[in-house]
């Protein structure tokens, strides 16, 4: 009996010695700090040849949905740095042209989903349009929804990264919160870019023919831009991302963002001030 006990002890000791070795192998994948996981995932995305994606964005004003701000979109990434985006209908259909959307609106008497299509390419570290569509409105929302740019921004922003406890098997969910000053700077950059996109072009032939109209439009733009700058000084901004990660391949599966903007100077219908909540979600599939 004594011999058997010694053997059992030797076997048990061997198992205990092997456990740290086995666990070390697992730790290389699953036990890294959240910030390091984020870095690995972003690097994996940059190294991917291509991927398809679908997403949506929406806006809540004091808790009430704003239907005119809802947008469904899809697209593809190719050659690492080329992105195509297009709008989708809520049922997954694709509006063919802006003219068709307008025709449907006239026939039905209700709002039709506007059709947008955008191609972007990263050149010299900047995302630029591959084509200029004279029919596209200056407030085309798709360039701002470029999922590669959204992921890249996470490496350059002031953020705090943590891991959510309840994630499905084979996945991790990272919570990524911007510091309040960084969230404010991000919002300001986006809104200032949108304002610049609608700035009157005095060189256009239409405005050249009407000097007074050009001056009036410029004055109106300057007034609205001044109001924007003042609002940006007053609001508080909180921005949180959630990134769902495929731990087997270290690649993104879903990225969501919630941005809360509170204006204490505008009472709205919420105690303490008006609130806007901007929501975006994009799902990745079909990596190549």
pLDDT at 272 over 60: no
Domain count, the chain: 1
Q: Using the Cα atoms of residue 149, residue 140, residue 193 and residue 176 in order, give the sign of their dihedral.
A: negative
Domain region containing 171: 34-285
CATH assignment at residue 267: 2.50.20
**Is 4 among the domain residues?**
no
**Is 122 among the domain residues?**
yes
**Is 8 among the domain residues?**
no
**Is 268 among the domain residues?**
yes
Rounded to whole angstroms, how far apart are CA atoms 270 and 117? Answer: 37
* Six token digits for residue 6: 């010694």
**Is 10 among the domain residues?**
no
Identify the weakest region by mean pLDDT among 72-81, 198-207, 245-254: 198-207
**Is 20 among the domain residues?**
no
**Is 151 among the domain residues?**
yes
Q: What tens digit of pLDDT does each residue of 201-238 get?
A: 766 666 555 667 778 888 999 999 999 999 999 999 99
* This model's pTM is above 0.95: no
**Is 22 among the domain residues?**
no
């Amino acid at each position: 009996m004594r011999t058997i006990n010694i053997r059992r002890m030797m076997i048990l000791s061997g198992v205990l010695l092997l456990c740290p070795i086995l666990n070390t192998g697992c730790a290389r994948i699953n036990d890294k700090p959240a910030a390091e996981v984020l870095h690995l995932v972003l690097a994996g995305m940059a190294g991917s040849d291509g991927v398809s994606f679908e997403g949506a964005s929406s806006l809540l004003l004091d808790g009430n949905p704003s239907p005119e701000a809802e947008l469904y979109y899809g697209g593809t990434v190719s050659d690492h740095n080329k992105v195509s985006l297009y709008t989708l209908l809520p049922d997954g259909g694709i509006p063919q042209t802006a003219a068709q959307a307008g025709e449907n609106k006239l026939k039905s008497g209700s709002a039709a989903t506007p059709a947008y299509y955008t191609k972007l390419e990263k050149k010299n570290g900047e995302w630029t349009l591959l084509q200029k569509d004279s029919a596209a409105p200056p407030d085309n929302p798709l360039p701002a929804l470029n999922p590669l740019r959204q992921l890249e921004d996470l490496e350059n922003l002031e953020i705090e990264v943590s891991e959510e406890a309840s994630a499905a098997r084979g996945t991790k969910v990272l919570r990524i919160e911007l510091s309040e000053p960084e969230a404010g700077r991000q919002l300001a950059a986006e809104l200032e870019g949108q304002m610049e996109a609608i700035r009157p072009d005095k060189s256009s032939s239409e405005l050249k023919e009407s000097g007074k109209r050009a001056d009036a439009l410029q004055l109106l733009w300057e007034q609205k831009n001044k109001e924007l700058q003042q609002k940006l000084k007053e609001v508080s901004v909180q921005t949180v991302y959630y990134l769902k990660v495929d731990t087997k391949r270290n690649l993104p599966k879903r990225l969501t963002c919630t941005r809360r903007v509170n204006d204490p100077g505008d009472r709205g219908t919420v105690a303490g001030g008006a609130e806007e909540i901007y929501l975006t979600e994009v799902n990745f599939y079909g990596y190549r």
